[in-house]
Structure 1
Amino acid sequence: MSPSWEEEAKWIWTPDWRPEDEVGVGKFVYYRKTFELERGVHACAIRISADSRYRLWVNGVPVSRGPCKGDRFTWYYDSVEIGNLLREGVNILAVQVLRYPYLGGGNQSVWRTRLPGLYVHADIIDEKGVCTARVHSDESWICLKDESIQLSQGVYTQFLGIAETVDAARKPIGWMDACFDSAAWIHVVAYEFDIQHGGLKPWELSERPIPALYETERRFNQVSRILYSDVELELWQRLIREDSPVGIPPRTIAVVDLDAGELTTGYLALSMSRGKGTVIRLLCAECYEREPVLVPWLRDKGDRTDSVNGELYGDEDVYKVSGDGTLSPLSPEIYEPFWFRTFRYVRLVIETGEEPFDLIGFGYRETGYPLDVAASYRSSDPEEDLLWDISVRTLRRCMHETYEDCPYYEQLQYVMDTRSQILFTYSLSGDDRLARKTFYDFHSSLLPQGLTQSRYPSDEAQVIPGFSLYWIFMLHDHMMFAGDRDLIARYLPSVDAILGYFHRMRDDRGLVGRMNPRYWSFVDWADRWKESYGVPDAAKKGPSTVYCLMYAYALQQAAELAYFAGRHGLAEEYEGRAEQMRQAVRENCRSELHFGCFTDGPGSEEFSQHSQIWAILSGTSTGDEARRIMEIALTDDAFVPCSFAMSFYLFRALSMTGLYNQVYELFAPWRQMAKDNLTTWMEDTVSQRSDAHAWGSVPVYEYLAETLGVLPIAPGYGEIEIQPRIGRLHQAQGRVMTSHGPVDIHWHLEGERFHLSAKWPEQVPCVIRLPNGRRTRVETGGAFSVSVLLSN
């Protein structure tokens, strides 16, 4: 339902918008509203939104960015308190709006409607609670279409469309200040909509459901390489350490690489003076690497810090300095790209013209979702400490207004990636706000056929059928974490729609038949499937065993969701369907020639670890048989091995079959990435494209849920299980977050004696399973200590 105040303000835009402005990548428009206040202000909550993105200043102070990513039917607004920034006398609201073309271009994860627009609603309240002024968007606002910034789609960041070329001499410098001369600006036009007969406006406003992204000032760590420069290294170091200005003579080129110390996301900020005609280029890169095999998809990477044998590759921002004579070190010229950049390294290229140029400062403001990491982990293996730190950092870098596959290249929210990221978030912070938004995002993406889109929000629809099932898995995870019955009941109809699609796809053998060839039947970025972009060979010819088994598993999880929501009849129906699917796979997708292992499709003798994993997770194979097929899959070269994307599910199958000690060896690629000086985990070993992909943060889950052994065994963490795994360690300790609070675990070995101490929210019952097989249930109290012989 639209908020009651929504009609008090108007959606506005510039009257000189032309059809050609809707072509290309995107265009900026500036808006101003000056007003006077005669007395003090107690509060002013400004509600603001735009199509497509905005940045707001109040009296020259940057206040907020947005709106949060939504879609056509859920257009978010931000509510920001600005009362402390208003004053008696003249005030100004200034807004920069970026409009992405309706027909495509720019950032693919940012929705846009058929109309561009800006919306501002601001009631100014005095100390008595009386509204003394309204500063809503209407025809009194003025605007200017920007002609100084050209956006390009880029080669490396082609999903984003954020690369800027700026001619600062054409930019209205200081336009957000009250004293700026805006005589040449024009008045806006306001839209009028007929909403009396059920017609929807282009923007159906909803309040932002997640907190604002944080912005924290950061400095670069060091200069990693100087390619060309008359300026000594020490002067560059002083620039990034303490903003000590660097002077560049006329007709000079300086090229220097700066290292942030870790891969990060942030808003770059340059401050400068003099230097009219100087051109500055900024190239952001994840790492040093050898020349790409195929730009941007296939890469050749090793030591990410090797500046001797490697090079930086990426798209450039270009800034042509105005050299405005009124600017000085006390009032410098500033350049900050509109969208945040992802980088560990930034190459700064400065080419001066006929005048000297002063670079006064260069840093960045780190940004991301405000993830409050309350969990911790340390063990007797110091290598695990490093893997933990890299995993947490990777997750942070892939959380902004949505979860993201990778912050550098796409910034798109994919279901498979996000399911794992949400689980990691629960254990690290106990925060489910971004998860709840994610559930709604994919629910909103549901297509008439019954499948969700594989990535959303996105202005270009994409379907990976199996990814719809991961959305069901993440709902089940949330049921176990939070126990929100209303949330589950709300989404059950969408769950049923997804399961209904797979049910209708069954063939006469009872298997889920071959998917629509226009869909991408992706399973994993396995090296042997790279020619088919992660699709098993068998899936091109007929039913995919993996999809059949994923469907069976989803039916089981959906049955538990339905029971939890009180829909017992539906739950029983799902259970019956799941058993039918398991039986169909047993009858049609097993190989007697290969010890009863599951093939990748009926009538096929092609094998993968994936088919065995999902046979185990779905309960199609259990007990000794499940252990046997998993052992074969791990050791037989005929089986396609998993990539990082599927590792979470591989580890679950190992846990279920008593083979979890294999995980240490399987973490070898993570240890190699750490040796290659990655500070975040890469996407896969096939393309080596992205150096930040949070499905690789699986060590977080393994250390908390397996090594420390903390898991929910009743919805809403209504009952906790603690089952530590010793493996090759002799000590581990840490904190795991639940929806009720933290669980603290410490265990260590003394010879054959195992010592455990645990503390958890005292109102929650807990089942403790010790390595010697002993089981203890503690109903209340929230604490337990024990010392036992492992042989008992």
Structure 2
Amino acid sequence: MRRGMSRREFVGGAAGLALADGEQERQELFHPSARWIWDGGVDRPVDAYRLFRQTFHLKDPPERARLRITADAEYRLFVNGAYAGRGPAPNPPAHVSVDELDVARHLRRGENVLAVVVYHLGIPSFPRVLGRAGLLAQLDLPGQRIVTDSAWRWRDAWWEPTGERFSPFREFTEHLDGRREPVGWSAPGFNDNSWKLAVELGPARTFPWLKPEMRDIPLPGHSPVGPTGLLFTCSASAAIPPKQEAARELARMPGPPLEPSRVRNPNGLADTGGGSVEVDARGAAVVFALDFGREVSGFPEILADAERDGVVIDVGFGEGLQDGRHVTVLRQNNPDCDRFTLRSGSQALRVFHHRAFRYMVVAVRGGRVRLQAPRVIESTYPVRMAGRFACSDPRLDRIWEVGRHTMRMCMDQGFMDCPWRERGQYIGDGLAEGPVALYAFGDTQLMRRFLRQAALCQPPDGLLEPAYPSDWTLWHGRRGPWRIPGYGALWVVMVENYYRSTGDRELVQELTGTMDRLMRWFERHEGPDGLLREVPEWNFIDWAQMHPQSAMACLNLQHLMALKARTELSASQAGLSGARTTRIERFEKAFEAAHWEESRGLFRDAPNVYTVHTNALALLALVRDRDRAARIVSGLSAPDLLRPESPYFDGFVLRALCRHGRHDQALGMVRQKWGRMLDSGATTFWESYGGQWSLCHAWSCEPTAMLSRDILGLEYDAPARTVRFAPNPAGLDWARGAALFPAGEVSAGWRAVDGLDATLSAPPGIRVLLDLPAPPGAVLRVDGRRRQSRQENGRLLAVIRGGQHHIEVAPGG
């Protein structure tokens, strides 16, 4: 640990400090001989890339070769020259995540080599928590063990420092200088005698890495993706701009027309068939822009054969086009641009950090080069396309698919708000991320990790940071307070939602202390009537400009949602149901007394101040009476109500409308607001309706879950082992689809013509609750036989067992 650095600063968060005081040991993940290693320099080098390698010999390659590896902060692993993986998944340093890979397929008889690129940012960021630079690995082989220790060799990598942050929240832009790359360094036979010996930092539990944990999610997938079309070609000045000016120049393109002799067959620049194009960038720059057809997220790669050293290729990225022609390389003034300096001969240069974009603009200068079409090695969380949805409205089908792709781009080694600007795991985004991951991919592992990491990162006072694991507080410094109390309350709601979807009692028990500490933070800010008063920090509700009392009214309702969720979880753990407490009843009465305006049939935030926000949250948290709900829904269209300005908060509105049976209004809202993004050419959904910020944002995905859950009508209650089939046609003629729940796949389809004609397939042994729209006196038939049912509020209710069923609701008589 660097002199003068506190343990609190180094570990970050209460969990790390508690471990420093001695937490019970678990089974060790590494042999005592395995050592953290680094270069002998400072603990936190800034924007540092290092190469590490170790050779070993095998008489025969084994059938299995278990490699455990981690790094602070990131690694890229090669075995005998072949790429083998990247990691680790972000975690606070005290709980550094350890990856396990079977590398047997890469090993051979004779000399073998493990080679690793390690990156350490060295300053606070949002994607990760600042720790201490280091590498730790152990390869277990029959009769021998290869561990990181002082016998490993290291040297600087071929990245030149740029001094230019990709965004204020992330790493620096990259300048890969191929002339400095030690060609063949990751393969056997390379002479590393000039490399320095690594310096040991200590065993696996060396501070701050006090409790290494095995990765609890799959390793990310990788697949090459090429462009779908050429946008333009042009020329530019031959002068190579300073790296920090390159993004600005690329954002101005296109420039003057390109002489045809500079690039023969320019369309070959977008040809992914493996061909190449000769580019003559002597005397003037050759510039071209590519369209990848959709948002992609991964590692851009340049495959080139240069006639001489020093050819420079600047590559800019953008999620959109300004004025229909300029790639948005400088969106929000963030320089989304990397530089490649080529050596003579063939090479493949791949950036280390994720880039997310649809459009790429490339400027080549300084000589002749043969280029293959630039590509991106797309790398995201591995998913199955398990969910399905289709209906009689193609616009809704497209919205479901775009929401799924948006979600996929925002899943990597954790959930992310967006793959471009921050790559931060924000609590609020989880309200959409968890359900969409379930309905689109059948995945609950990433949500489990999302919830559990809160416990690992909870500050001592109990209030969660709005994004974790990250250096949120350290990054904001004296600019705070910037924590979002409402996000903390909603995190408790998400724990209950996750439990309902999975029945994971073990995680709920693990998170009990975290929830209780969080709820005690809120208790300290309650007034005599139980309502929250004078809450510090950043009371973010939506991007709309809200009156402070509006934000407080919303926070009180989010706190009520948390109280109810916490109570339900406690009751479920005790085997009870339908739990209420006098505290909740007191809170509800106090809120109604303070905010209900009978003359308007709405909740007010302050005298003459009304918002959709407060009333939507009240519909979710407070209102049970059907008549009152109808009055509120009717009043939401009044012109004096402040309206949401983000798809994030409109997700609450959609959930509120569906909860109170206004599915037709919810569909109309989705068609209008999300459909408008489609009409603007969106391939992913945006952070804001204006499209001025991130164009791929997880919090905008709610319609994908809504369409599967509330329109098709599939929902699963894991503790009750019950599938609820509750279709809501809302003007649609038909819908069909499937969801992969923890109990197995459930698929359904229905037609809403002269009643309801549906099919349903659910795993045997599962209880199925039928909740079907029906006119008075309607008759229910299951598999051709009349079934006893109960009519309630325009619905037929019945219970059947899992299996394949044909279900009919027909008029009586």
Q: Same fold by TM (over 0.5)?
A: yes
For each residue in 1:268-302, what CA deviation from the matched residue of structure 2 results, as whole angstroms up to 9, or x when unmatched?
Answer: 11111224221100101101025xxxxxxxxxxxx
Q: CA deviation at 1:335?
A: 0.8
The 5 A counterparts of 1:560-709 are: 560-566=568-574, 575-592=581-598, 595-601=600-606, 604-620=607-623, 622-641=625-644, 643-667=646-670, 668-685=672-689, 688-709=692-713
Question: Measured at CA, do residues 575 and 363 of structure 1 come closer, stay the same or move farther in structure 2, by a change above 3 Å?
Answer: same
CA contact (8 A) 1:627 1:658 kept: no
The answer to whether 1:351 aligns with 2:355 is no
CA contact (8 A) 1:14 1:144 kept: no
Cα distance in 2 for partners of 1:577, 1:187 equals 63
TM-score when scaled to structure 1? 0.88
The 5 A counterparts of 1:257-406 are: 257-274=289-306, 275-290=308-323, 306-307=324-325, 313=331, 314-323=335-344, 327=345, 332-352=346-366, 355-406=367-418
Q: CA deviation at 1:590?
A: 2.6
CA contact (8 A) 1:11 1:137 kept: yes
Instruction: In structure 2, give the amino acid aligned to 1:720.
Output: V
Question: Measured at CA, do residues 308 and 346 of structure 1 come closer, stay the same or move farther in structure 2, by a change above 3 Å?
Answer: closer
CA contact (8 A) 1:723 1:768 kept: yes
Q: What is the match of residue 49 of structure 1?
A: 70
Question: Measured at CA, do residues 689 and 618 of structure 1 come closer, stay the same or move farther in structure 2, by a change above 3 Å?
Answer: same
For each residue in 1:438-491, what CA deviation from the matched residue of structure 2 results, as whole angstroms up to 9, or x when unmatched?
Answer: 111112222222211110010233510000111111111111111122221221
Cα distance in 1 for partners of 2:667, 2:556 equals 30
The answer to whether 1:135 aligns with 2:146 is yes
Cα distance in 2 for partners of 1:233, 1:625 equals 70
For each residue in 1:191-240, what CA deviation from the matched residue of structure 2 results, as whole angstroms up to 9, or x when unmatched?
Answer: 23697xxx855342111110011001222111112233444574333653
Instruction: In structure 1, give the amino acid aligned to 2:699.
Output: W
The 5 A counterparts of 1:197-596 are: 201-228=208-235, 229=258, 230=260, 231=262, 234-237=265-268, 240-249=271-280, 250-274=282-306, 275-290=308-323, 306-307=324-325, 313=331, 314-323=335-344, 327=345, 332-352=346-366, 355-461=367-473, 462-516=482-536, 519-526=537-544, 529=545, 536-538=547-549, 544-566=552-574, 575-592=581-598, 595-596=600-601
Q: CA deviation at 1:656?
A: 2.8
Instruction: In structure 1, give the amino acid aligned to 2:414.
Output: T
Cα distance in 1 for partners of 2:392, 2:632 equals 32
Q: CA deviation at 1:782?
A: 2.5
Q: CA deviation at 1:376?
A: 0.7
Cα distance in 1 for partners of 2:61, 2:803 equals 52
Q: CA deviation at 1:670?
A: 0.9
CA contact (8 A) 2:610 2:640 kept: no
Cα distance in 2 for partners of 1:386, 1:539 equals 35
For each residue in 1:505-527, what CA deviation from the matched residue of structure 2 results, as whole angstroms up to 9, or x when unmatched?
Answer: 111343101211xx11000122x
Q: What is the match of residue 788 of structure 1?
A: 809
Select 1:116's aligned residue among 129, 133, 155.
133
Question: Measured at CA, do residues 674 and 35 of structure 1 come closer, stay the same or move farther in structure 2, by a change above 3 Å?
Answer: same
CA contact (8 A) 2:317 2:328 kept: no
Cα distance in 2 for partners of 1:736, 1:360 equals 41
CA contact (8 A) 2:542 2:644 kept: no
Cα distance in 2 for partners of 1:193, 1:784 equals 59
User: SS at 1:174's partner residue?
Assistant: coil
Unpaired stretches in structure 1, ≥5 consecutive residues: 126-131, 291-305, 530-534
Unpaired stretches in structure 2, ≥5 consecutive residues: 1-24, 236-257, 474-481, 775-793
CA contact (8 A) 2:390 2:735 kept: yes
Cα distance in 1 for partners of 2:180, 2:510 equals 52
CA contact (8 A) 1:709 1:722 kept: yes
CA contact (8 A) 2:298 2:377 kept: yes
User: SS at 2:581's partner residue?
Assistant: helix
Instruction: In structure 2, give the amino acid aligned to 1:727.
Output: A
Cα distance in 2 for partners of 1:116, 1:310 equals 34
Q: What is the match of residue 37 of structure 2?
A: 13
Q: CA deviation at 1:790?
A: 5.8
CA contact (8 A) 2:263 2:279 kept: no
Identity of aligned residues (%): 23
| RMSD of aligned alpha carbons | 2.4
Comparing 333-342 with 161-170, which one deviates more in the overlay? 161-170
CA contact (8 A) 2:97 2:214 kept: yes
User: SS at 2:187's partner residue?
Assistant: coil
Instruction: In structure 1, give the amino acid aligned to 2:696.
Output: A
Q: CA deviation at 1:496?
A: 1.9
CA contact (8 A) 2:226 2:270 kept: no
Question: Measured at CA, do residues 425 and 233 of structure 1 come closer, stay the same or move farther in structure 2, by a change above 3 Å?
Answer: farther
Cα distance in 2 for partners of 1:775, 1:562 equals 31
Q: What is the match of residue 295 of structure 1?
A: none
CA contact (8 A) 1:767 1:777 kept: yes
For each residue in 1:513-554, what CA deviation from the matched residue of structure 2 results, as whole angstroms up to 9, or x when unmatched?
Answer: 1211xx11000122xx1xxxxx543257xxx11111111121
CA contact (8 A) 1:31 1:95 kept: yes
Q: CA deviation at 1:774?
A: 4.6
Aligned residues: 732
Select 2:92's aligned residue among 44, 47, 71.
71
Cα distance in 1 for partners of 2:210, 2:317 equals 34
CA contact (8 A) 1:548 1:581 kept: no
Instruction: In structure 1, give the amino acid aligned to 2:757.
Output: H
User: SS at 1:95's partner residue?
Assistant: strand
Instruction: In structure 2, give the amino acid aligned to 1:488.
Output: V
CA contact (8 A) 1:2 1:206 kept: no
Instruction: In structure 1, give the amino acid aligned to 2:567.
Output: A
Question: Measured at CA, do residues 583 and 67 of structure 1 come closer, stay the same or move farther in structure 2, by a change above 3 Å?
Answer: same
TM-score when scaled to structure 2? 0.86
User: SS at 1:716's partner residue?
Assistant: coil
Q: What is the match of residue 160 of structure 1?
A: 170
CA contact (8 A) 1:222 1:237 kept: no
User: SS at 1:402's partner residue?
Assistant: coil
Q: CA deviation at 1:647?
A: 1.9
Cα distance in 2 for partners of 1:87, 1:585 equals 70
Question: Measured at CA, do residues 657 and 12 of structure 1 come closer, stay the same or move farther in structure 2, by a change above 3 Å?
Answer: closer
User: SS at 1:645's partner residue?
Assistant: helix
Question: Measured at CA, do residues 343 and 686 of structure 1 come closer, stay the same or move farther in structure 2, by a change above 3 Å?
Answer: closer
For each residue in 1:11-69, what CA deviation from the matched residue of structure 2 results, as whole angstroms up to 9, or x when unmatched?
Answer: 343445247xx464x11111110112223423210111111111111110110111111
Q: What is the match of residue 10 of structure 2?
A: none
